[in-house]
Each structure stands twice: as structure tokens, then as C-alpha cells.
Structure 1
Amino acid sequence: MTVNAVTPHRARLGEGPFWDVRSQALYWVDIAAKQALRLMGGELQVWQLPEHVSAFIPCESGDALVTLSSGVYRLDLATEALTLLCVADPQPGNRGNEARCDAQGRLWLGTMQNNIGEQGEDLPITRRSGGLFRIDSDATVTPLLSGLGIPNTLLWSEDGGHVHFGDSMDGTLYHHAIQPDGQLDPARMWFGPHERGGPDGSAMDAEGYIWNARWDGSCLLRLTPLGKVDRIIELPVSRPTSCVFGGPDLTTLYITSAASPLGHPLDGAVLAIEVDVPGKPCHRFAG
């Protein structure tokens, strides 16, 4: 399996890859460097932001959402102007981490205690103060979970009745049934700790299998719908952080990564590999 870096850019903490089918563009962020990035038509564009940013998601209205430390903002891609949409998590000292939109175009945002200093340095995590929130297109915020450590992975079943959600502090991916009123049933363990690193972000393919990036594991795990390891995809980076299916046929898997003490040449790169099963498309924010 051939692995390529899609640009020369190397992130300190690459995260949140999003493939926009309509524009055939890849969006992602460098949380520590406060950058939102887009690769479209072979051209890399970088937006420098005033705060740490964990997600960069295009909107149906033509602009994009960025999840900054102080809230969820609309970013005008032409003028770079920021407009506050909402403050999902009012807890002081928290920041956004995982964020994806469901099939209805609602943003789900997982937050955590901020662990990144102003210069990009690591800060200790001393509390489980994170939460999971749903933000509708009209900016209504619905709290869903609390007491989270490091939220990662947000993927929904085909019928929208269940969500896969992870907490890297637990080393575990969970499964929640979604109630008719939109609240979540208690977590059910779906895939526990594994010797190949900790669970980070994930993507789902057309067969319902989950491809999970393994922080400090130098690999992806492809997991069956029953939570068993189907295959291990070795990677030339120490800390893969997330992945998304893209390309014209959704058979290119894009993988974000972070810098590491091991200093591998591709650490921090966005990697691309061709896979034998297409993935499910990302959804824009409905607002």
C-alpha cells in the first residue's frame, strides 16, 4: 500500500480532516499552530486564526465553521472575518476537540480541558471537564454528555439511531443509542484499549467498518461493526490523529498526524492512501 504526503506542510497537531464532495476539497486544522487549511485543485490555502482551532467545516451558506477556544465561529473564506455563532461549552479553560456534522447537518462538538499553551507547548490535563454538545443550524445548543477527558471519534449509524464516540483518556470507543428526543442512552463499550496506541479520530466506510487512527501507534485499525480488529494499516508517522474518505470515488483515505518526539520525516503530514472500499461522505453544516 503506497502512502503519500499530499503537501509539504507539516503540522504540530494536525486534526479534523473533512472532505467536501461538492468542491472536491480537503479541509483540516493544525490545532497548536492555530491554522485552518484547505487543499483544493492542488492549491493549499492557510487561514491563520487568533485561537486554537479544532475543526474547519464548510457550511451550506458558503462560509465555514471553525471551532475556536472561545466558541464556534463562522469564517468568511474571502475576507477572513469571524462571526460568533455560539458558545457551546461555557466551562472556563476548556477548548473544542472532536467535531463532525451528522446527516442533518448539525454540528456535534466534543470539548476538553485545554492542553495546549500559547506557544503550542503541552499542558497537563488535570480534570475531566469536557462535554459533548449538538449545535443546530439556528445556533441552538443541546448538551449531551459531561465529564469527558479527551473526546475523539464521532460517527453515526446509517439510520441515525446510534453514534460511535470515543474518549482517548479511557482508551475506549463507545456506542450510544440516540433517543427520540435527541438525548443519548448510557455509553456501551464498543472497542476497548489496544496495544497499538490510543484511539483518536475515525472514519466509516460504506460497509459500516470504522477506520480508527491510533495515537502513538503508527497505524490505523479497521474495526468490524462488532468491534473486532479486521486489519492493521501501518503508517510512516508516530501519531496519526484522524482520517476521512475523499477523492472522486471516496476511495482515497486522508490521514492527519502530529509531530512527535521520534521525529519521523512525515510526522505532522497529511497522508493519502488508496483503499479497496469507499467511505461515507462528510456532511456540511446546515446553516
Structure 2
Amino acid sequence: MKWQALSPVRYRLAEGAFWDAPTQALYWVDIAGFKACRVLGGELHTWQLSEPVSAFIPTQWGDALVTLASGVHRLDLTSPGHAPELTLLCQPDPVPGNRANEARCDPQGRLWLGSMQNNLDAEGGDLPLERRSGGLFRIDHQRDVKALLSEQGIVNTLLWTADGTALLSADTLDGVIYRYPLGADGLPGPRQAWAAQHPRGAPDGSAMDADGYVWNARWGGHCLLRFAPDGSVDRIVELPVEHPTSCVFGGSDLTRLYVTSSRQAGSQRELDGAVLWADVGVQGQICHRYGG
């Protein structure tokens, strides 16, 4: 696969790649740079925020959600990048010192949000992780918040099986992607390990293709792992970056894979921190907007 940089920009901690099929736009964030980014019609738009932002997801009403340490906010996409207009939607995690991390919408348009201990200072520098205080929350169309899981390390990857009976979600601190059965009420049951630890890095964000295979970014692993529906490793996709963070299928036919990455202090690699893309010849699944 021939990987190329989407733009010359290199980010400190690019994350949360999201493809909006109706507008053919790519959304992502720079968590440590406090930026929400979008490419629409070939033009890059950036909104500078005042705190870490972990996800940037459009809504059915034409604005977008940004998930911040202070809560989930609506962002007016017509507001200028230097003065983004935010409206608080909800504050799902009540634990002091936590911040939002992975966020995705399910096929019903509900936002699922994983949190973690905040590991960034006021300038986006690293802070030590000292506790497993993260959780998983679901926000419905009426802004009602349902707490689903607690005592999580770093929640990453939120994917649903095609039949809607299970959630796949990783804890990066464990190095494991778990499978949670979903009951009739949509709540997760007892988890089981779905994809075990692997020497090629720790699990970060993921995308699912049309055949139910999971493409998982491996933090520190220079690669993506493609897992079969049973959790076995199907292939290793080498990348020209050390710390890939998330991936998403996009393009007009959903066969282009976009990969975000982090540029750590002291990195000597040209593409570390870039948003990458390659045509992979495999069709992916669509991303869902927030329905509220």
C-alpha cells in the first residue's frame, strides 16, 4: 500500500478520524494541540479550542459535537476557527480529573463516549497516568446520559457487530480488545477478551470493513492489525509512522483508508503526526452522525 500525507501539517496527537459520507468530509482532532480539524471540498478548516478535544463528530442538524474535558459541546461550524462558538450538550463523566477519549455514534445515532484520567497539562504536555478512573457513557438524542462501565484505563475503539448484538472496545492499558454482549436494553454485559495482546503495539482506534474485519491502529507498533471477525490476526499493515492512533474508511466508495498519528517528542520520522491515506481495495462501513 502506498501511504501519503493528506497535508504538510504534522500534529502532536491526531486522533478520532471520522468520515462524513453525505458531505464527503474528513473530521479529526489534535488532542494535545486542542484542535478540531475538517477537510471539506479539499480545504482544511481548523478550530482552535482551549482544552483537550478527543472527537469531532457531525450531527444531523448541521453542526458538530466536540468532546472536551469539560463535557460534550456543540460546535457551530460557521464560526471562525480562532473563536469557535460552543454550546454545552452534557457533562457525562462526573469524576474530577477525567477527560473524554474515544467517541463514536452507534447506528441509532447515539453517542458512546469513553473517558480516562486526564493525562495532559494546560499546554498539552504529558502527565503520568496514575489511576483507572475512566468510564463508558451513552448519550441519547435527548441528551440523557447513561453510565455503562467504570474503572476503565484508556477506552479506545467503539465498534458494533453487524447484527447489533455486541460491542467491541479496547482498553489500551490492558492491550486487549474486548467483546461485550449487548442485551435487549442495549446495555453491555460481562466482557470477554476478543483480540489478545500482540507484540506490535497497543490497541488504539479502529474501523470496521464491510466484511466485519476490524482494522486497528497500534500505538507504538508502526502498523495496523486487521482482525478477522473471530478476533484472530488476519494481516499486518505496515505504516510509515510509529504511533498510529485511529483509522476510518472514506472516499466516494469507502475504499480509502485514512489514518491519524502522533508526533512524539524527539521523533525523527518525516510522517509522524501526519494524517495518512491509501487506497486499500477493501470497502469499509459508514460512520454515523449524532442524531440529537
TM-score in same-fold range (> 0.5): yes
Amino acid in structure 2 at the alignment position of 1:7:
S
Q: Normalising by structure 2, report the TM-score.
A: 0.97
Partner of 2:128 in structure 1?
124
The partner residue of 2:259 within 252, 255, 262 is 255
Report if the CA contact (8 A) 2:16-2:54 is conserved. Answer: yes
Shift of residue 29 of structure 1? Answer: 0.0
**How large is the Cα RMSD of the aligned pairs?**
0.7
Partner of 2:279 in structure 1?
274
Amino acid in structure 2 at the alignment position of 1:48:
Q
Shift of residue 182 of structure 1? Answer: 2.0
Taking the aligned partners of 1:190 and 1:158, their CA distance within structure 2 comes to 16
Partner of 1:227 in structure 2?
231
Given the alignment of the two structures, is residue 99 of structure 1 paired with residue 114 of structure 2, yes or no?
no
Report if the CA contact (8 A) 2:52-2:124 is conserved. Answer: no
Taking the aligned partners of 1:257 and 1:30, their CA distance within structure 2 comes to 9
Report if the CA contact (8 A) 2:256-2:281 is conserved. Answer: no
Amino acid in structure 1 at the alignment position of 2:47:
W
Amino acid in structure 2 at the alignment position of 1:270:
V
After superposition, residues 129-278 of structure 1 pair within 5 angstroms as 129-260=133-264, 261-278=266-283
Shift of residue 118 of structure 1? Answer: 1.3
Taking the aligned partners of 2:8 and 2:22, their CA distance within structure 1 comes to 25
Cα deviation, 1:201-224, whole Å, max 9, x if unaligned, reads 000000000000000000000110
Taking the aligned partners of 1:105 and 1:7, their CA distance within structure 2 comes to 30
User: Gaps spanning 5+ residues in structure 2: where?
Assistant: none
SS of residue paired to 1:272: strand
Partner of 2:39 in structure 1?
39
Amino acid in structure 2 at the alignment position of 1:140:
D
Taking the aligned partners of 1:225 and 1:183, their CA distance within structure 2 comes to 21
Partner of 2:3 in structure 1?
3
Partner of 1:88 in structure 2?
92
Amino acid in structure 2 at the alignment position of 1:202:
S
Taking the aligned partners of 1:175 and 1:81, their CA distance within structure 2 comes to 37
Taking the aligned partners of 1:263 and 1:187, their CA distance within structure 2 comes to 39
Aligned residues: 287
Amino acid in structure 2 at the alignment position of 1:188:
Q
Partner of 1:68 in structure 2?
68
Partner of 1:284 in structure 2?
289
Taking the aligned partners of 1:236 and 1:169, their CA distance within structure 2 comes to 24
Amino acid in structure 2 at the alignment position of 1:50:
S
Cα deviation, 1:50-82, whole Å, max 9, x if unaligned, reads 211000000001100000101000001112310
Amino acid in structure 2 at the alignment position of 1:223:
F
Shift of residue 263 of structure 1? Answer: 2.6
Shift of residue 14 of structure 1? Answer: 0.4
Cα deviation, 1:139-172, whole Å, max 9, x if unaligned, reads 0000110000010000001121111000000000
Deviates more, 1:255-264 or 1:128-137: 255-264
Partner of 2:78 in structure 1?
78
Shift of residue 41 of structure 1? Answer: 1.1
Shift of residue 17 of structure 1? Answer: 0.4
Given the alignment of the two structures, is residue 55 of structure 1 paired with residue 55 of structure 2, yes or no?
yes
Taking the aligned partners of 2:44 and 2:9, their CA distance within structure 1 comes to 9
| Identity in percent | 61
Q: Normalising by structure 1, report the TM-score.
A: 0.99
SS of residue paired to 1:55: strand
